[in-house]
Chains A and B, each alone.
Chain A
Amino acid sequence: MSQALDEVKIGGLGASRKRVEDERFIRGRGNYTDDITLPGMLHMEILRSPVAHARIRSIDVSRAWEIPGVRLVLTGEMLASRNLAWMPTLSYDTQAVLATDKVRFQGQEVACVIADDPYIAKDACEAIEVDYEQLPVIVNPAQAVAPDAPVIRDDKENQPDNVIFTWEVGDRAGTDRAFEQADVISRLRLHYPRSHPSPIECCGSIADFNRATSKLTVYMTTQAPHIIRAAVAMVAELPEHMIRIVSPDIGGGFGNKVPVYPGYVCSILASILLERPVKWIEDKSGNLISTGFARDMYLDGEMALRRDGKILGVRIHADSDHGAFFSDAQPSKFKIGLLHSTFACYDVPAAHLTARGTYSNKAPGGVAYRCSFRVTEAMFFQERMIQAAATDLGMDQAAFRRMNFVPDDAFPHRTPFGFLLDSGQYAKCLDVGLKAIGYDDFRARQEEARQRGRLLGLGISTMTEPLGAGNSREFDILGIKMFDSAELKVHMTGKAILRTGAKTQGQGHETTWAQIVAHELGIPADDVVVEEGDTDTAPFGMGTYASRSTPVAGAAVAMVSRKIRAKARKLAAHLLEVSEEDVEWELGRFYVRSAPDRGVTIQECALAAYSNMPDGMEPGLENTAYYDPPNLTWPFAVYIVTVEVDPETGVWDVTNMVAVDDCGVRINPMIVEGQIMGGLTEAYAMANMQFITFDAEGNCIGSNYMDYLLPSAWETPGFELHSEVVTPSPHHPIGAKGIGECAAVGGPAAFVNAVLDAISHLGVRNIDMPLLPDRVWEAITYRRDVSGAPPVRSDD
């Protein structure tokens, strides 16, 4: 009876518990949006613009209406008559639902057809005739700000040009002074190419408006159901309590499923007009060509350095290309996301950052693809700049980093951009990584190989990521503060159901949340079912993205468990017939302090909550917690890669990769490792092969999986993961910091740094991603930098 529970055995913190959701996914018994079929359901297809910028002279839908089985053809003009042709974005801009005046990017939604089956809907889309008058096209920020550039957003008042915003942060004057005192100034300009989150499941929705109940139910692929409910209430002007958003199983999100897309809106409107369920399932090309992209930023910076290697100051300018509509999903206050987290792990006395966002004739988005709002660009620039600066100084890459790290005893540390770092052991992580990769003799091996004509390289990248947006002082989306929530109901037998305002898309919440409950209450994780994604049942929350689930919703799970425990303590005192002060807690059990053998389990307390509560106590054992984090959490990582570059072909192979992640307390080590491996794979993809580019006419190159490459098991290198450094977050209830994105954020620079290190003797300073063989070959052959997006048909 007094035998203490083994936390790992009951599936608590630190248990590599198998993912409970995998049982149904592996057996094909998941329930994705496209698996749902409702009685009388119709199917919607979208007609997209084939051109990037054109005035719409006319749209003729008459032939589409003639096809049997067509129920509705929607155009922008029809939407405009209901004031629905435009919708607000998550960044205080507007976005066309269906084009009225112009199309502004290739793939833009022009019309949609609702029909008895998707084949008919597709046939009818092809029967719609649109007369386009083509306009000059803008595909990058330089073109956007050229003096004679056409104005893309001529729909907006007070928009005389293509500039969306300018933004700055930091201390301009102080940074100027730092540069005046510098012995050495290093400069770097680079492009982080446009990429796409590319979840395997595309976006989709089934809108079901019931005229009899006036209730609108929407099953949809969203990472943030409650935000969507608010947005639908605003756009469709429906009362919020009559809207139910259900996010069923999701086949990956990576940020792609945060925004509101025209397809969702059209399916909702169609269901209201037709009073029948309307299903829209996007195809892969539609997903790649029109939904939230990521990155696409030009970064230009310089670093002021003292001769001995001390960083004195940093200046950065970012030109970001947001496509035709500014629809970034990010906190309102930060126009360029958390780009100013750059250099956070280094002790930089002065820094200043400016940013300018511009429109282009490209798909809108700017979503946080597996990153906490532009942190990927921030860390990539940071680590590329660090390598360039160390090279300029003639310093060892590792020593330069170690010298400038925020030291262990300096936390909490305020960065020059205003962030407050919570904790970390940066040098220790670096040392673990260097030892694992065999750093000590690498330079000798590299030199020896060069003598024989072989090119070996080693690249280091570090990253610290501000996770858990946010605290409500600074973080909101459309004014809604970025807290999160958990509701726990313990049944009389001690089994429980937990609901949160987050939404799992592969992160494994159904597994890990139960582990937090097990840790806090001693209820075995297998006895806790986790449910998310239904706005009629889940407590209000901001959803899952930016690695915020564990830092925010996960904290709420711990806090609600503690509320339950507090009530259970009263029940225990009642059952044990002692005063509450005399009751002690150990995992899963209360006991009498003076007589440890006298105790009651949490399950006995649960039964008492329904069958034997003290006089005056409210029955039941349920509670809800809303968690507003006091600060961001700051995981840290070191990634080190070695490569061999074939000088004749430019092909490079990863020979070894070491990852040292300090993400604080690990709830489920197996899931954490899976997250790191997934992130490293995406990092490798970005560095090696992946990008979306556009030709001069604005044609999207990368609109299918033959052009937009996801690495397979065949080319993905092996990764060696290290977990020995653990610095718990001092303010998170269980000391966790978040891990979902770290490797995708910090990984790319390690690969690029490694390739550039291999050819450093040729004087090459930069090759922009992806490091395709021809770009590496060009750099080697001509001993020059290779910058910008890869060329497309430039020699025609």
Chain B
Amino acid sequence: MYPSRFRYEAPRSLDEAVALLAGAGDDAKVLAGGQSLIPLMKLRFAAPGLLVDINNIPGLDYHREDADGTLRIGALARHADLERSDILRARQPTMAQASAVIADPIVRNRGTLVGSLCHADPQGDWASVVTALGGQVVARGPGGQRTIPMTDFVLGPFQNALGPAEVAVEAVIPAPRGARSGGYLKLERRVGDFATVGVAVAIETTGEMVTRAGIALTGVGGATINAAQAASALVGKPLTGQTIARAADLAAQEARPRTDHRGSAEYKRHMVRTFVVRILARSQGGDTGERAA
């Protein structure tokens, strides 16, 4: 497959990248891992006139915790870095579980979390995870840096809130205020397939009480779905069979699935409910004898 003609630049600094983007109007795309952009270009679904490859910019491949527990993920942190991360394993259960089911092992070696957020594919896993965790995206543009809440970052299918000359440089996961738990469950027909259904749940508890909750859904709508009603139904209450069932029902109602070759809308809704229950039941400490989907 042969893409349309394009110009390629590989800047050495973010300032240089922003300047290149600013000079290209709407006709440029940033290349990080390239695991979505390159296939789209090969199919000529995307035909940017300029590719700005940020892989040579030093200092973007990090993920680290601030002293207060805030997690920062740089624009060049690969999925595989996160999959192997001790930080995620120890303190980010939702992210840790998601990191092992992003695409396939080959894509994970190259693709990036921030790139996945920018791609804004309704079937992208990280957007749901970061939404559920109340995360943000840090963007650098000609006017400096700004922070965009994840819930405002995705505007629609394959549309993000970045300006034409802005580069997403970092994703930020706020520090928890309580004990963190949750998970990410995904139904896929094959490793590397887009999610038929994915559910991200992130909760914080103090004692028995849920103090913060986030639930977001993958693949069951035109964009990542922030199941806010389901999440708020949990806050201020302990996790019980009843509260879990209530949240699962609300999440299923908030899903907007379509019947397609991956499954019927009814089934996808059912799977949202099932996954919410399975993740929260584990948080509750009960073992439902669950099997990985």
**Docked CA distance A688–B193 (Å):** 14
- A453 and chain B: residue at smallest CB distance: B289
Say yes or no: A795-B265 contact (C-beta < 8 A), given A118-B2, A646-B291. yes
Across the interface, do A793 and B271 meet the contact criterion of CB distance under 8 Å? no
**Docked CA distance A693–B267 (Å):** 19
Q: Which residues of A contact B190 (CB under 8 A)?
A: 689, 709-712, 714-715
Partner of A778, one of B1, B264, B274: B264
**Docked CA distance A333–B267 (Å):** 46
**Docked CA distance A699–B48 (Å):** 27
Across the interface, do A689 and B264 meet the contact criterion of CB distance under 8 Å? no
3 tightest Cβ-Cβ pairs between the two chains A and B: A774-B263, A774-B267, A714-B191
A residues lining the B interface (CB < 8 Å): 45, 118-119, 121-123, 126, 283-285, 646, 648-651, 653, 688-689, 691, 693, 701-702, 704, 706-707, 709-712, 714-715, 772-774, 777-778, 790-796
Q: Which of B184-227 contact A (CB under 8 A)?
A: 187, 189-194, 196
How near does chain A come to B107, taking the closest CB pair, in angstroms?
12
**Docked CA distance A45–B258 (Å):** 35
Partner of B263, one of A283, A712, A772: A772
How near does chain B come to A420, taking the closest CB pair, in angstroms?
42
Across the interface, do B261 and A701 meet the contact criterion of CB distance under 8 Å? yes
- B265 and chain A: residue at smallest CB distance: A795
Across the interface, do A793 and B259 meet the contact criterion of CB distance under 8 Å? yes
Q: Which residues of A contact B260 (CB under 8 A)?
A: 792-793
Q: Can you add 5 more A-B contacts, CB < 8 Å, to A688-B189, A778-B264, A792-B260?
A: A691-B261, A712-B104, A712-B192, A714-B104, A793-B258
Across the interface, do B187 and A773 meet the contact criterion of CB distance under 8 Å? yes
Tell me if B7 counts as interface (CB < 8 A to partner A). no
Across the interface, do A712 and B191 meet the contact criterion of CB distance under 8 Å? yes
The dominant DSSP class at the A interface is: loop
- A651 and chain B: residue at smallest CB distance: B293
How near does chain A come to B38, taking the closest CB pair, in angstroms?
14
Say yes or no: A649-B271 contact (C-beta < 8 A), given A285-B43, A689-B190. yes
How near does chain B come to A650, taking the closest CB pair, in angstroms?
8
- B278 and chain A: residue at smallest CB distance: A648
**Docked CA distance A706–B219 (Å):** 14
Q: Which residues of A contact B271 (CB under 8 A)?
A: 649
Partner of A792, one of B1, B261, B291: B261
**Docked CA distance A693–B4 (Å):** 29
**Docked CA distance A790–B263 (Å):** 8
Q: Give 12 A-B contacts (CB < 8 Å), ordered by A residue.
A: A119-B5, A122-B2, A123-B4, A126-B44, A651-B187, A710-B190, A712-B104, A714-B191, A715-B191, A773-B187, A777-B270, A792-B259
Tell me if B262 counts as interface (CB < 8 A to partner A). yes
Q: Which residues of A contact B293 (CB under 8 A)?
A: 649, 651
**Docked CA distance A305–B37 (Å):** 59
**Docked CA distance A688–B190 (Å):** 9
Across the interface, do B267 and A777 meet the contact criterion of CB distance under 8 Å? yes
- A709 and chain B: residue at smallest CB distance: B190
**Docked CA distance A715–B5 (Å):** 38
Tally B residues with Cβ within 8 Å of A.
31
Across the interface, do B264 and A706 meet the contact criterion of CB distance under 8 Å? no
Say yes or no: A649-B1 contact (C-beta < 8 A), given A285-B43, A777-B270, A790-B261. no
Across the interface, do A119 and B2 meet the contact criterion of CB distance under 8 Å? yes
Q: Which residues of B contact A794 (CB under 8 A)?
A: 259
**Docked CA distance A126–B47 (Å):** 13
How near does chain B come to A87, taking the closest CB pair, in angstroms?
26
**Docked CA distance A346–B262 (Å):** 37
How near does chain A come to B249, taking the closest CB pair, in angstroms?
15
Q: Which residues of A contact B274 (CB under 8 A)?
A: 648-649
Across the interface, do B193 and A706 meet the contact criterion of CB distance under 8 Å? yes
**Docked CA distance A123–B2 (Å):** 9
**Docked CA distance A773–B197 (Å):** 12
**Docked CA distance A193–B105 (Å):** 30
- A710 and chain B: residue at smallest CB distance: B190
Q: Which residues of B contact A714 (CB under 8 A)?
A: 104, 190-191
Across the interface, do B194 and A706 meet the contact criterion of CB distance under 8 Å? yes
Q: Which residues of A contact B192 (CB under 8 A)?
A: 712
Q: Which residues of B contact A689 (CB under 8 A)?
A: 189-190
- A781 and chain B: residue at smallest CB distance: B270
- B123 and chain A: residue at smallest CB distance: A706
- B185 and chain A: residue at smallest CB distance: A649
Q: Which residues of A contact B194 (CB under 8 A)?
A: 706
Say yes or no: A707-B261 contact (C-beta < 8 A), given A118-B2, A774-B267, A777-B267. yes
Q: Which residues of B contact A119 (CB under 8 A)?
A: 2-3, 5
Type the 1/0 row for B1-15, where 1 means its CB is closer than 8 Å to any CB of A.
111110000000000
Type the 1/0 row for B247-283, where 1 means its CB is closer than 8 Å to any CB of A.
0000000000011111111011011001000000000
Q: Which residues of B contact A707 (CB under 8 A)?
A: 261
Q: Which residues of A contact B291 (CB under 8 A)?
A: 646, 651, 653
**Docked CA distance A594–B193 (Å):** 71
**Docked CA distance A689–B192 (Å):** 13
Q: Which residues of A contact B263 (CB under 8 A)?
A: 772-774
Partner of A772, one of B104, B189, B265: B189
Q: Which residues of B contact A122 (CB under 8 A)?
A: 2, 44
Across the interface, do B2 and A796 meet the contact criterion of CB distance under 8 Å? no
**Docked CA distance A123–B104 (Å):** 32
**Docked CA distance A795–B190 (Å):** 25
Q: Which residues of A contact B259 (CB under 8 A)?
A: 791-795
How near does chain A come to B55, taking the closest CB pair, in angstroms?
24
How near does chain A come to B281, taking the closest CB pair, in angstroms?
12
- B273 and chain A: residue at smallest CB distance: A648
- B292 and chain A: residue at smallest CB distance: A651
Most buried by A among B2, B187, B270: B2
Across the interface, do B44 and A283 meet the contact criterion of CB distance under 8 Å? no
Q: Which residues of B contact A709 (CB under 8 A)?
A: 189-190, 193
Q: Which residues of B contact A711 (CB under 8 A)?
A: 190
**Docked CA distance A26–B113 (Å):** 33
Partner of B267, one of A121, A691, A778, A796: A778
How near does chain B come to A689, taking the closest CB pair, in angstroms?
5
**Docked CA distance A55–B248 (Å):** 51
How near does chain A come to B251, taking the closest CB pair, in angstroms?
16
How near does chain B come to A793, taking the closest CB pair, in angstroms?
6
Say yes or no: A791-B193 contact (C-beta < 8 A), given A119-B5, A646-B291, A648-B274. no
Across the interface, do A283 and B1 meet the contact criterion of CB distance under 8 Å? yes
- B1 and chain A: residue at smallest CB distance: A283
How near does chain A come to B7, taking the closest CB pair, in angstroms?
14
**Docked CA distance A283–B260 (Å):** 25
**Docked CA distance A774–B193 (Å):** 16
- A688 and chain B: residue at smallest CB distance: B189
How near does chain B come to A118, taking the closest CB pair, in angstroms?
5
How near does chain B come to A720, taking the closest CB pair, in angstroms?
23
Q: Which residues of B contact A646 (CB under 8 A)?
A: 291
How near does chain B come to A653, taking the closest CB pair, in angstroms?
8
